[in-house]
Amino acid sequence: MNEKPAKQRIVILNYGSQYTQLIARRVREQHVYSEILPFTVTAEALRRDLPKGIILSGGPDSVFDEGAPGVDPGIFRLGVPVLGICYGMQLMCHTLGGTVRHSDRREYGKTEISVTEGGALFAGLPERSVVWMSHGDAVAEIPQGFAAAAESENCPYAAISDEGRRLYALQFHPEVVHTEFGNKIIANFLFEICGCKADWNMDTWIADTVRGLRETIGDDEVVLGLSGGVDSSVVAVLLDKAIGPRLHCIFVDNGLLRHNEVETVEGMFRSKLGLDLHVARAAQRFYSALRGVEDPEGKRKAIGREFVSVFAEEARRFKDCKFLAQGTIYPDVIESSSSPDGPSQTIKSHHNVGGLPPDLKFTLVEPLRDLFKDEVRSVGRILGLDSEFLDRQPFPGPGLGVRILGEVTEDKVRLLRQADVRVQEEMRKLPDYKSIWQSFAVLLPCRSVGVMGDQRTYEYTCAIRSVNSIDAMTADWTRIPYDTLATISSRIINEVRGINRVVYDISSKPPATIEWE
């Protein structure tokens, strides 16, 4: 759907690293367009639209594993710079005649490197710096034409380069924040080695995308599943800019939404923006579908199935619509499937509209599927969407259904919604509230004994979850001031009848996910 700029791009071949998307982000942060492709892409395919440079990502495999991901050797003969990172380095050396061995001592975490020959990749960097290592294998002998560029105590080839062929490789990860001068190394590769220009930005992206939407949709109409979250809201204003009144928005009230969500969405999109908005009030249908379902994935699937059913009924009203728009963004794509871009593992299901009945033959439009959340917000700001929506914290598609552990009932939803309102009200008072990625309440399926007014209580436990993140791929728990936690706890216990205990979740992602289910 999105046309990539023809003038320049950096291609990242995905070998399954948890940091692959982070590499793409780091390149984009330098205002250079980046694109992730499967490692199976051929040199010939790349030659047809030659990139300015190629990056081989890290990955969980060993080059010695049976069926380990490989690379077309012709990629190293395209004449464009190539940077291998971690597994990408080992694969480069293995392919070009070097030797890779299992390390006697695995390196993981912060390590100091010393720049030896250095070269273009390390231009302007100090002789010593801290980097983030993560490897079990290491290069023992480098291919002909390469030279050591940096070393660590346990790794004589922490970085290598063949300046003549413009081939570079790093045993460490420059894309993570733990690498002291990682952004500078990436910038050197982009600008000094690849000759890129810093001319890609969200204004460019919007112009390209709106033009692409108009060309794709033509004079036809589009139906959009509007959730009221940042992503679908930005899709709505983007499509409104592209095709105007030929956009029809469907908002499904599944009974699992935030407090006053329906009224808020109607006020913004129908009253203020003048969009064609249709609200399907279907709470009882969802409660019935969730009756007796306790498994997290089972709940997601039940909510997804019912959502599709309700959405399909509404969509049939628009007989001239040929396109279905969704607010899918890049982390959704990564977490929802074993991506065709490389080896990955399904973490949990997302319920964007899929599996529609045969009579609804829509062509899918997902204009945000290559953007990260902060980039989506940037697009929204440029398009003039109110900060009330742009600065909203992410909300899961299945809603409160995945914040109630165990069976979901209407009474539990009411309880959790009341608790969550108190969390939101107190968190918004913090001076750094906008820097917090997500904060919310979770209703646990266990009850405990308490005492209120000299009387015994036996009520539910509520967990508070708050995390800081950039793109939801990784997250760390928020260090909320004790006074704020105390106020939240006191308000929930005293004001929400049915909860007598509050706990705080201090798990990071990974190993935990942001949502509990």
Active-site residue (options: 93, 94, 151, 173): 173
Query: What gap in Å lies between CA 265 and CA 251, rounded to an integer?
Result: 8
Query: What gap in Å lies between CA 476 and CA 467, rounded to an integer?
Result: 5
What are 33-45's pLDDT values in tens digits? Answer: 998 899 999 999 9
What are 395-411's pLDDT values in tens digits? Answer: 888 999 999 999 999 99
- Does residue 175 carry a catalytic annotation? yes
Query: What gap in Å lies between CA 154 and CA 411, rounded to an integer?
Result: 59
Query: What gap in Å lies between CA 290 and CA 407, rounded to an integer?
Result: 7
Query: What gap in Å lies between CA 53 and CA 273, rounded to an integer?
Result: 42
At 242 the pLDDT is 96
Which token pair is 140? Answer: 């023992």
Q: Please state the separation of Cα 364 from the chain's center in Å.
A: 20
Burial of 436 (0-12, 13-18, 19+ CB in 10 A): middle
272 backbone dihedrals φ, ψ, rounded to 5°: -90, -45
Q: How many CA atoms lie within 13 A of 192 on its CB side?
A: 14
Could you say which residues of the chain have pLDDT below 70? Answer: 1-7, 103-108, 135, 331, 333-355, 454
Active-site residue (options: 175, 335, 366, 426): 175
Query: What gap in Å lies between CA 457 and CA 501, rounded to an integer?
Result: 10
Residue where the block lists tokens 């912060």: 110
At 301 the pLDDT is 93
At 324 the pLDDT is 92
Q: 419 and 410 in contact (C-beta within 8 Å)?
A: no
At 352 the pLDDT is 56
At 135 the pLDDT is 64
At 354 the pLDDT is 62
Which bin fits 134, alpha (ψ -120 to 50), beta or left (φ > 0)? beta
At 339 the pLDDT is 43
At 254 the pLDDT is 95
DSSP letter for each residue of 39-93: TT--HHHHHTT--SEEEE---S--TTSTT-----GGGGGSSS-EEEETHHHHHHH
At 345 the pLDDT is 37
At 369 the pLDDT is 85
Which bin fits 192, alpha (ψ -120 to 50), beta or left (φ > 0)? alpha
**Beta-bridge partner residues of 54:** 11, 82
Q: Which helix (H) or strand (E) holds 293?
A: none
Q: Give the predicted TM-score (pTM) of the model.
A: 0.73
279 backbone dihedrals φ, ψ, rounded to 5°: -100, 125
SS (H, E, C) 341-396: CCCCCCCCCCCCCCCCCCCCCCEEECCCCCCCHHHHHHHHHHCCCCHHHHCCCCCC
